[in-house]
Amino acid sequence: MSVRQSKEQLIPQLREQWGLDLSVDRFRLRKKSWKNPGTVFLDYHIYENEISISSNWEIFLEILEEGEKMKSMSQLSLFTKRWRPSQLKLDPFQEIILDTNNVEELREKICEISSIPLENLEFAKARGTFPCDMSVLEIHQDLDWNPKVTTLNAWPLYISDDGAIIFYRDKTEELVELTDEQRSELMKKESSRLQKTGHRVTYSPRKEKALKIYLDGASSKDTTQD
């Protein structure tokens, strides 16, 4: 059976159980890798030929706002979100399709959808499992922004399959300054929000180095204290 044939068989079930009136070209099937949406299965793929199936095999069904943009397995589908530091917010997901695994193409595609000048664009791979939710107080400093690599499959990106999430920003947009009271209040809100979505946020204090104390007239081996 082809992927398209299986999608055609799903349409009546989607309508009856979920009230979704979709045509075969307005949704896609993709590999489920634990919680992460992975490889996009194209209509012409044949199960047990291009797509291996195991006993615990599962798939995601993704509804498309437009028709399928992926045409080949050599392409790469990535999710992107714009980080706006002046507002401490992330924009909704936008998908981009790459023809290569070159970082330069990724940067060019992001510039196309955002209108950020190439020289001002910075990006980072999101952390954790889909949808990679994290505190807005961590995004600006804690991610590895603008990694010095030329290909997506190199460290620290390690992107070799569909479904990775990329955050991007305009480096000329300054981070909003918060008072101690505002920061404390936002920390509480973010902790509550992330707990509701099954994520956990912790803010670690700065680690202090051990202090060694030597007492006069005594052996350092016997009297050193940390």
Q: What percent of the chain has pLDDT over 90?
A: 79
**pLDDT by residue (tens digit) across 163-177?**
999 999 999 999 999
What is the spatial distance between Cα 218 and Cα 196, in angstroms, rounded to a whole number? Answer: 56
Which tokens hold the place of 221? 């081996």
| 164 burial via Cβ count (<10 Å: 0-12, 13-18, 19+) | buried
Q: What is the DSSP string of 120-176?
A: GEEEEEPPSSTT----TTTHHHHS--S-S-SBTTSTTT---STT-EEEEEETTSPPP
Quote the pLDDT of residue 216: 58
**Domain parsing of the chain, residue ranges:** 3-63, 74-226
Q: What type of residue is 207?
A: K
At the second CATH level, the architecture of 74-226 is Roll (3.10)
What H or E segment, with its residue span, contains residue 32?
strand 27-33
User: What are the Cα distances from residue 38, in Å, to 4, 26, 32, 103?
Assistant: 18, 18, 6, 20
What burial class does residue 77 get, using C-beta atoms within 10 Å of its C-beta: 0-12 exposed, 13-18 middle, 19+ buried? Answer: buried
pLDDT tens for the chain, residues 1 to 226: 999 999 999 999 999 999 999 999 999 999 998 899 999 999 999 999 999 988 889 999 999 999 999 999 999 999 999 999 999 999 999 999 999 999 999 999 999 999 999 999 999 999 999 999 999 999 999 999 999 999 999 999 999 999 999 999 999 999 999 999 999 999 999 999 998 766 555 444 444 444 445 455 544 444 444 4
Sheet holding 27-33, edge to edge: 36-41, 27-33, 59-63
CA-nearest of 128, 207, 192 to 164 is 128
Tell me which residue has tokens 């936002």. Answer: 186
pTM of the model as a whole: 0.83
pLDDT for res 196: 76
What local confidence, expressed as pLDDT, does residue 195 receive? 87
Residue 60 backbone phi and psi in degrees, to 5: -95, 145
pLDDT of the residue at 209: 43
